[in-house]
Amino acid sequence: MIGRLNHVAIAVPDLASATDTYRTMLGAEVSESQALPEHGVTVVFITLPNTKIELLEPLGEGSPIAAFLERNGAGGMHHICYEVDDILAARDHLASSGARVLGDGEPKIGAHGKPVLFLHPKDFNGTLVELEQV
């Protein structure tokens, strides 16, 4: 069911500064920023030969990563994203296995224009997992 690693997401308190760090210090290829109001974040993607890094900062006061940044002021790893062929089949299999799907359980469209779901970190060794349909 689980496919390739799509990206590792890092929550940052200042997206412009973090983007500049990756671009200037590491020489990374960085996308333009993209606001995702439905998810409460603004993101950029850093393209690597084998995956991507997603930098995300809160968008609005109701952002789900605001509390994360309150606990981790400098930012840090927020979630890991795996690709799946069929997100609904993956959701149903995981739910029947006891995993908790966050939100209402229905996929939302993510930053890549594809359906995504998030899985509770307590079910995956303390790591928030995002699934993205390819």
**57 a catalytic residue:** no
Q: Of 54, 57, 83, 130, which is the active-site residue?
A: 130
Taking the CA atoms of 63, 36, 132 and 50 in sequence, report the sign of the dihedral they define.
Answer: negative
CB 110 within 8 A of CB 45: no
Vertex 68, ends 60 and 47: CA angle to 5°?
A: 80
Alpha carbons within 13 A on the beta-carbon side of 13: 9
Which amino acids are annotated catalytic? 130
